Amino acid sequence: MGTENALYTILVEKIKQDALVLPTLPEIALKVRQAADDPDINLNQMSDIISHDPALSLGMLKVANSAILGRSVKVETVNQAVTRIGLRQIKSIATAMALEQVFISKNEIVSMYLKKSWNKTVDVASVAISLMTFYMKDHKHTSLTLDTLTLAALVHNIGVLPILTEAENHPDVFANPTFLQQAIAKLAADIGGEVTKAWGFSDDFVNLVTDWSDLTVLPPETHYLDFIRAGAIYHGIFKNVSTREVLLKSYVNKGILPEMNFMDSEEFQQMFTDVKAMFS
């Protein structure tokens, strides 16, 4: 228990002193984000940047051909993919697709935990994206966008990375997954806020990362938080049954869910499977 308490104390102290080592955004994501902010950038130039990264190129093709864009004609080149996705959305989508590169460690145990964390993040994101895809069919004038949700859902739990990296210096902690989960539950939101700030994300993204697990924050209007929390409900992250029911009822009232059990339907399951395939 001494080692566990020591880790917790170290994390809290480093947060206070702004001394926690934060993960960096993958280089390709930085290049795409900088290019997207250039008013003179064109589709060909953006395609050329993305083409230099095979993993991102494949990710862009998967998104362009996915169920969320609802196109039947398959695209086969990065240029076609970028054209279909559009320059306005490419900044968020490319960042989201590159994030898997952050969840990597040379330490075998840390790597295992990071992989589990990434898989859980993808599970939650796939539910969120699926629900918004259905929502947008009936709410065509919503100000919410799929590209923003995709990135938001994939960074919502980014705060686990610095915790696991710090825990690497305390091997005994990994022998007690319960404690590690408690440390993540208590600190990941605040640390995630620091990560997204360091990456230059907007205040909206920072607030989303810090607030998604704080159920005292309940947006009155339909919000990205709602879709991410629905994903957390679906995957059993929110354990309290009455809390889950209250949230699901509010999502029905907001039009996010047609009915309380919609996520059990065959229609939803098919969309979820299709969306998740983008990340595999």
Residue 254 lies in a domain: yes
Residue 70 has pLDDT above 90, yes or no: no
Looking at the chain, the whole-number percentage of residues with pLDDT higher than 70 is 97
Average pLDDT over residues 45-49: 95
The total number of structural domains that make up the chain: 2
65 and 149 together in one domain: no
Residue 18 lies in a domain: no
pTM of the shown model: 0.91
184 and 92 together in one domain: no
Residue 7 lies in a domain: no
The domain boundary, picked from 102, 137, 163, lies at 102
Over the stretch 143-202, which tens digit does the pLDDT of each residue have? 999 999 999 999 999 999 999 988 888 888 887 888 888 888 888 999 999 999 999 999
162 and 47 together in one domain: no
Range of the domain at 96: 23-102
- Rounded distance, CA 155 to CA 216, Å? 20
Over the stretch 117-144, which tens digit does the pLDDT of each residue have? 999 999 999 999 999 999 999 999 999 9
